[in-house]
Amino acid sequence: MSDTFPPGFLWGTATAAYQIEGAARENGRTPSIWDTFSHTPGKVEKGDTGDIAVDHFHRRAEDVRMMADLGVNAYRFSVSWPRVQPTGRGPAIQRGLDFYRGLVDDLLAHGIEPVLTLYHWDLPQELEAAGGWPERETAYRFAEYARAVAEALGDRVTRWTTLNEPWCSAFLGYGSGVHAPGRTDPVAALRAAHHLNLGHGLAAQALRSVLPAGGQVSVSLNPAAVRARTQSPGDLDARRRIDALANRVFTGPMLTGAYPEDLLADTARLTDWAFVRAGDAAVSRQPLDSLGINYYQPAVVSAAPGQDAAGRDPGRQDRQDGHGASEHSPWPGAESVAFHQPPGELTEMGWSVDPSGLYDLLLRYTREAPGLPLMVTENGAAYPDKPDADGAVHDPDRIRYLHGHLSAVQRAIADGADVRGYFLWSLMDNFEWAYGYGKRFGAVHVDYETQRRTPKSSARWYARLAGTGVLPEVPIG
């Protein structure tokens, strides 16, 4: 196996608007569901909010220069929906779009390709008040928003992503309630999943109608590498159930134009799926130029003791699924499946370090979607990074993590996966959703009091990789 990545490979970093921008009330921006959620007592650790975040809105030029210094050739960012379309309806406001015009121009001037994500969880609060993603109308509003952004930036941005991790939007936002908007209704979660699928398809159609020739459309999913704890029939069925809810609920409509029959059967006691209208799944299946894969850890599952033949067990389980504590499950129809902590090293999030899951996913979607290029659009780890006495930030654990996962990408490429790029999560430390500022994923350390940026050792290591295409060794010590 070669230690050199293919020519033309994209070496990027990634961020999300609410996690980094700040300027929550400037230039006409209105609240998103994450503004409302983070300002609700008890929802985010220490009451942290993204009001200021890492002030990227005002430090955009500095941050782009920092990326250029790191040698990356691509930057995956998201547009804040309420910054450019404050009510979630009607025409975009130009002063909101101007920020992204300036960002794209800065990136291009430094030789960095912009990779734009339309939705990274910041639904305008006004749309949530009207019902949010469980309502069909939201999918149409999303397509309208997609068209407006494409009309403004399509002449300079080639790579477009509709949704980031719709599983989190649907099942953490409307099922377990640990993400915004914090609702806990399993049927609403399934409805949201469907309307995210529909919104993806409608937005992809809107993009294709506006973008010039050569425009590329993608979606970034966070598929689960689901493993049964044993080969018992119960554990294998638990794996099937979670695979349906974590993966096939999205890849079914998006890649094949149909929901899996076993998913419909598993959830029949909750809903008859009458919210799916004729033709919806076909709309969700739009031609893609690549499929984004976000990966952090595998899932190990088993049948919970005492569940019945239909998988019912209303008793709360300690899921250990890595998605935050809640009395409510993000797994409608599979609430009683037990999740298990794999043995071995953990990140500060309590997530297992297991690159084999990334390899398995890349090979899985190579088989299931032959001919569709893949991108690793998020991969990274949180560690308790602190500056030393000289102000330097050394993070050898992150370097080992990246080396292991990039080796898995190389192995997947050698075994036939058409992987076109890798985006490190994240460019810099930022607001980590319900964990606030307590978890640091960045290759660049941010002092939240002063907003000083300090590249960590992993940033310099990644810069060598981006510059040469050759996987550097892990430093000793």
Residue 299 phi, psi (nearest 5) = -120, 130
Question: Shortest CA distance to 362 belongs to which of 209, 223, 187?
Answer: 223
Which alpha helices (DSSP H) does 354-456 contain, by range?
A: 356-368, 396-414
Q: What is the DSSP string of 93-142?
A: PHHHHHHHHHHHHHHHHTT-EEEEEEESS--BHHHHHTT-TTSHHHHHHH
| Residues 179, 201 contacting (CB under 8 angstroms) | no
Residue indicated by tokens 């030789």: 111
Helix (H) or strand (E) holding 429: none
Q: Quote the CA–CA distance of 138 and 469 in Å, as a whole number.
A: 42
CA distance 8 to 103: 23
Beta bridge partners of 424: 13, 379
378 is known as an active-site residue: yes
Closest CA to 86 of 95, 78, 77, 75: 95
Question: Looking up tokens 């469907």, which residue turns up?
Answer: 194
**Which pair of tokens denotes residue 465?**
């990789």
CA 437 from centre of chain: 18
Exactly one of 21, 113, 128, 165 is catalytic; which is it?
A: 165
Return the number of other C-beta atoms located less than 10 Å from residue 209's C-beta.
Answer: 12
| Nearest Cα residue to 384 out of 336, 308, 442, 326 | 442
**Beta strand spans in 241-345 (E):** 290-294, 299-302, 338-340
Q: Token match 């008040």: residue?
A: 129
Active site residue 26: no
Selected catalytic residue, list 21, 128, 135, 378: 378
Q: Which residues are catalytic?
A: 165, 378
